[in-house]
Amino acid sequence: MCILSSIQALFHEFQSLKVKFYYMKKNMWCGIFGKFSSVVVLLMMLSSMSVAIAATSIEESISNKLKAINSNIEVESLIESPWPGMYEITLKTGEVIFSDQNAEYLMIGQMYNLSQDEGFINLTERKFQAKVAKTLAKVPAAEQIVYAAIGEEKAAITVFTDIDCYYCQKLHKAVPQLQKNGVTVKYMAFPRAGVGSDVARQMESIWCAKDPSLALTAAKSKQRVASIKCDNPVSRQFRLGHELGVNATPSIFTEAGVKIAGFASTKSLLNELGLL
């Protein structure tokens, strides 16, 4: 109310000053426009406050309605989507849904933008790819098994792998060729049989080995590695893989978070990376 009263008072004063405007001296101009600027600033403040209050109310309204359906539903973020009147809701489970501001109509799926230059652009996928890239960038290199590019690095890929997977073994045989073509390969563990399985225990031993890269190569050549125990990231990487939508191996991600499903050949992978 204080702000509204101030605005009204300033407007009345401004109207009065306008009548006398042409009779004032040049040194009065600063005062007039100084007061006018104050009005503009106050109006902008009120506008910002109303937008912030509306956004908070919408988020609370949608969250409350979702919780009324299922108390376990938790909203991680809510933003206004490019589609006017629609809000993009990211749940803590990673799922994305769309809602009107009253949470009366919900849509589960992907949002596309039709661009004259690029055709159909999957906005939902692009957002998820950005999340994947950001998440993987935070993984310490010490927790990965890395085969660095030979010479100049032209690309880097993160691979969720399983030592008992045929296509993972096929990809690993191609690693030297990828390295020669400037590709760094960063391995992360994804034992498909789950944490606690025989494969998971072997992968824990690999990550605990004195030379993990040699141990991984041996395991992918169907050699049994010596059992070693230590604090290792295998279970964490397995859970992270699930969070990033990994459900098969090898799952390959570029630095931009783009997922390349499976492995066909060195040539096809290099082509996917834009190196051919």
Per-residue model confidence as pLDDT tens digits over 215-233: 999 999 999 899 999 999 9
- In angstroms, the CA 191 to CA 174 distance is 21
The pLDDT, as a whole number, for residue 113 is 85
**47 pLDDT exceeds 80?**
no
In this predicted structure, the answer to whether residue 166 has a pLDDT above a threshold of 70 is yes
Domains and CATH numbers, the chain: 2-108 (no CATH), 140-272 (3.40.30.10)
State in Å, rounded, how far the first CA of the chain is from the last one. Answer: 66
The strand pairing partners of 260, in sequence order, are 252
**Summary count for the chain: helices (H), strands (E):** 8, 11
Q: Give mean pLDDT, residues 10-24.
A: 44
pLDDT tens digits, one per residue of 89-120: 888 777 788 888 888 888 888 888 888 888 88
pLDDT at 157 (0 to 100): 98
Quick one: what percent of the chain has pLDDT higher than 90?
51
- Beta-ladder partners of 80: 87
